[in-house]
Amino acid sequence: MIILYGVIICILLIAIIGTLLITNRSDDNYQSSSRKNNRNLTMIYIVVIALSIIALAIYIAYD
């Protein structure tokens, strides 16, 4: 079970790093909205991570 937690954390880190690398590449016209898009993605990640931690805590509590 601990191995699965490690795999999930690795996948999460790879997804975050990949997203940040992709968002750093932008067109000249896209530069003005890049900050807003990065902020939105960051907020999405924060919400998803928080919900994942809550779901994991509930799963562990009732396991």
- Could you report the per-residue pLDDT of 7-45, keeping only the tens digit for each? 899 999 999 898 888 877 656 666 667 777 888 899 999
Average pLDDT over every residue of 33-58: 89
Write the CA distances from 33 to 20, 43, 44, integer angstroms: 15, 16, 17
Does residue 3 register a pLDDT over 70? yes
Half-sphere exposure of 37 (CA within 13 A, CB side): 12
Give residue 52's pLDDT band: very low, low, confident or very high (50, 70, 90). Answer: very high
Does residue 63 register a pLDDT over 90? no
Task: Quote the pLDDT of residue 62.
Answer: 87
